[in-house]
């Protein structure tokens, strides 16, 4: 799968997040009209009762009012339209996390069957045959097989070139594996910003609503209610950003750990190829009398790995 194939769905997702954020801003802006109408109704009611005598207040036994608990679900529903892009971000984080947990399993990156076959080839009579090793890598397409095949196509070159081939292939594979995980880092960065934007807008609207209250109404209570509702978006953004940042760090360390193990295996096998230095131009074919001949494809594995450049032909001495 090419980088453009990975990027296109993510581009549409970012555009969707931007569009929903703009809709949330517009919807919140026009929601200011409701408090204004309510304040006008309060002014009219106060004008009707201005000439009436004050009724005596019955000061009976005061009833104890117990404060009700805060419901997380109720708070989330009061976050306004800014909760829509945050909801999309939470779905993005959950989807990528599940996909990365499945894609970065050891058996997917470093198949134990491939390790067993390479170990058996190392212990075989006559030493490790590069053609047999290449065939085993084709049978188990993975990150490990891609890196090892990058080593095999350099067989016959100096040891320094073999080590460089392994390191460069591991770096390319690390970049490929980290492309999807980088979206978790992006979500961890923008989720608090969207939440903060919703909070700033909510607090602005709360202060504006208090200016529309008539004399005698409790401004502090109205302001406090508007502020605690506005803070919901910031809380939601943090609830999304914290797990996203932790998971992004975990997946990055997971990639580094697995690729270091693959590099160590390749470096341990380098002495097996010293006898071929300057004597062999590597080819991927095997003798015709052998079974299970597998011709190498242009791309590695299922097409999700970058192609390995074949070494140039050597002139006969």
Q: Residue 155 forms beta bridges with which residues?
A: 157
* Among 304, 306, 3, 7, residue whose Cα is nearest residue 172: 306
pLDDT at 117 over 70: yes
Q: Has residue 141 been placed in a domain? A: yes
Q: How many domains does the chain have?
A: 1
304 located within any domain: no
Q: Is the pTM of this model over 0.85?
A: no
- The answer to whether residue 19 sits within a structural domain is no
Q: Is residue 32 part of a domain?
A: no
Of the candidates 207, 223, 212, the one whose C-alpha atom is nearest the C-alpha of residue 41 is 212
Closest CA to 75 of 237, 205, 231: 231
Give the structural domain span for 236. 75-276
Q: What is the model's pLDDT at position 122?
A: 82
pLDDT band at 231 (very low <50, low <70, confident <90, very high): confident
Report the pLDDT averaged over residues 267-284.
Answer: 75
Q: Is residue 193 part of a domain?
A: yes
């Amino acid at each position: 799968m090419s980088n453009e194939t990975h990027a296109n769905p993510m581009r549409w997702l970012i555009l969707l997040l931007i569009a929903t954020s703009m809709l949330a801003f517009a919807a919140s802006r026009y929601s200011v009209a409701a408090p204004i109408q309510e304040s006008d109704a309060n002014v009219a009611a106060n004008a009707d009762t201005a000439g009436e005598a004050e009724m005596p207040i019955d000061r009976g036994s005061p009833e104890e009012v117990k404060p009700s608990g805060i419901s997380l679900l109720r708070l989330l529903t009061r976050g306004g339209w800014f909760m829509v892009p945050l909801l999309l971000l939470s779905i993005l984080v959950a989807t990528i996390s599940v996909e990365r947990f499945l894609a970065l399993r050891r058996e997917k990156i470093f198949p134990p069957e491939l390790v067993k076959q390479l170990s058996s080839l190392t212990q075989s009579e006559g030493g490790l045959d590069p053609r047999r090793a290449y065939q085993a890598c084709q049978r188990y397409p993975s990150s490990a097989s891609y890196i090892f095949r990058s080593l095999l196509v350099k067989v016959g070159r100096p040891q320094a070139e073999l080590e460089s081939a392994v390191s460069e292939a591991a770096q390319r594979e690390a970049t490929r594996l980290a492309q999807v995980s980088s979206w978790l880092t992006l979500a961890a960065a923008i989720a608090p910003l969207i939440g903060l934007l919703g909070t700033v807008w909510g607090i602005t609207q709360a202060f504006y609503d208090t200016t529309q209250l008539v004399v005698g109404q409790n401004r502090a209570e109205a302001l406090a209610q508007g502020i605690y509702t506005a803070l919901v978006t910031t809380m939601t953004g943090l609830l999304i950003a914290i797990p996203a940042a932790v998971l992004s760090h975990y997946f990055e360390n997971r990639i580094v750990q697995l690729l270091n193990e693959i590099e160590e295996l390749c470096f341990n096998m380098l002495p097996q190829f010293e006898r071929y230095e300057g004597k062999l131009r590597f080819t991927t074919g095997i003798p015709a009398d052998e079974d299970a001949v597998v011709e190498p494809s242009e791309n590695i594995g299922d097409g999700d790995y970058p192609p390995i450049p074949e070494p140039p032909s050597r002139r006969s001495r």
